[in-house]
Amino acid sequence: MKQNKIILSFVIAIVAVSCATNPFTGKKTMAFVGNDELFPSAFAQYSQVLTENKVIKGTSDAEMITRVGQRIAVAAERYLTANGFEGYLDDYKWEYSLIESDQVNAWCMPGGKIAFYTGILPIAANETGVAAIMGHEVAHALANHGQQRMSAAYIQQGISLAGNVALADDKNLGIYNQAFGIASNVGGMLPFSRSNETEADKIGVYLMAIAGYNPDEAAELWVRMKANSGDSSTPEFMSTHPSNDSRIENLKSLAPKAKEEAAKFGVTSFRAIN
């Protein structure tokens, strides 16, 4: 039991000192892994992905991905500088790649390495739809969601270890591990992941609006995402993402706020959706 308390105290101490400030919420977030370690690893993984896949270059779609990405990056720089985080992106190495694949996916690694798969373009439907996806994915990186997920996993493992030490000679160890695994995922990791997705939706529509793209299109994008999924999804409490309907309604409510935010940067009209 004494060992158990020591391990738990160690976990709590690590959490207390390993925090970073989320530049969009002002809240302290877990950051057990620093950018000096995280970025080089992300850059190496990105390079590997590019070597293992067909990267499309020189087409109108590839040029659009780069164009939208650059505008979102500029919007992020403007927003961060205006809110007291000048220099926040100094270590970012922005790169935008269109990869040939049927996957309906896009992502942004820590440090600004972005990939779009051709399979998501029909659902994006237009450049503004691409901006909605780009804003969301870039938001994950800017808000350090990757660091937070890694840190949360470390805490989960630490608490599990403490329980195993406490029950090392107990016949109920197997039951504990099974129960802890379910409870920590459904009650901890999954809600944590959903909150990251909701935060990225908010930051994303702000960024796309500041970049000159109509934030109303974000909700329409998710209407198309829902249709593409066949209107079937995992129950929200068992999913890493909010339900499609929750997401659509949230994005609709965020659009007017995103327009107000964009107006602070002199953006009062948006590019035509085509």
Residues serving a catalytic function are 137
Beta bridge partners of 28: 21
Phi, psi of 56, rounded to the nearest 5 degrees: -90, 130
Tell me how far apart the alpha carbons of residues 133 and 89 are, in angstroms, rounded to a whole number: 20
Q: Dig out the tokens for 222 from the structure.
A: 């998710």
Instruction: Quickly list DSSP for 28-94.
Output: EEE-SS-HHHHHHHHHHHHHHHHHHS-EE-SSHHHHHHHHHHHHHHHHHHHHHHHTT-TTTTTT---
Comparing C-alpha atoms, which of 241, 158, 256, 171 is closest to residue 205?
A: 256
CA 135 – CA 137 distance, rounded (Å): 6
235: Cβ–Cβ under 8 A, 6 or more apart, which residues? 243
What's the Rg (C-alpha) of the chain? 20
Bridge partners (DSSP) listed for residue 19: 30
d(CA 144, CA 242): 19
